[in-house]
Amino acid sequence: MVLAHGWGMHSGVWEDVVEGLLDHHRITVLDLPGHGYSRLPAAGHTLNHWAADVLAATPAPAAWIGWSLGGLVAQQAALIAPERVSRLVLVNSTPCFVQRPDWPHGVALPVLRRFAEELRQDYRAVLKRFIALEVHGSEHASAQLKQLKAMLFQHGEPDVSVLEDGLAILETSDLRAELARIQCPTLLLMGQRDQLVPAGAGEALLKLLPDARLHVFPRAGHAPFFSHLPEFVAQLGAFLDA
């Protein structure tokens, strides 16, 4: 298994998930380029570059589990190196994070651009506001927010330029037209109350992916592996062992 985290975070978010699966799986957790303990990319700051960097650092073949931005990287990895991705799990992630005329299942563009504009002024405040959105509407949201804030900088301070790159990737990427090429079994794990990736995106993706199944966690926000850990691990384990 390969686990990829979301924007502005690091591999530490998977700690409890790893604990629940470690007895039966070989697990690789990683920090995306420029995040956590990972060094800044030497060159190339596009989604394709990030996916290539992650592929170079992970075993093959493997089941890829990607949360949010990490799920976008995992989709790109499955497209450019399908032989390396045996199964795909998208956790609150889609091929298109921004609302478009034919895609209502994303973030409004002005919201994402406001985050980008404010990064240089106070990136710490921006990250804290972003994780507040991630837990909004979820069960035990205040406890989850406290947990996320506590781990936010545990792997060091993120580079602002990489945070900007990540937001640019989220804004510009749209892999919908290519999803039919992802032939591996895919599990979509969504939160019913997600404010960043609406649960309706899961139903839309079932029509775009050749071999996909969907599970929506009730009363969950953008991080169901915090709010619904036992159920999350059970869903993930059943899919990987099928």
Q: What are the chain's domains?
A: 2-241 (3.40.50.1820)
Q: Specify whether 211 is catalytic.
A: no
- Determine which one of 68, 93, 138, 227 is catalytic: 68
Q: Which residue is catalytic, options 31, 53, 165, 194?
A: 194
Q: What is the pLDDT of residues 33-88, one digit of tens each?
A: 999 999 877 667 899 999 999 999 999 899 999 999 999 999 999 999 999 999 99
Letter for the amino acid at 222? H
Asked about 68 being catalytic, the answer comes back as yes
Does the reported pTM lie above 0.75?
yes
pLDDT of residue 139: 78
82, 183 Cβ separation under 8 angstroms:
yes
Closest CA to 143 of 219, 67, 226, 68: 226
Q: Give catalytic status of residue 222 as yes or no.
A: yes
Residues (pLDDT < 50) of the chain are none
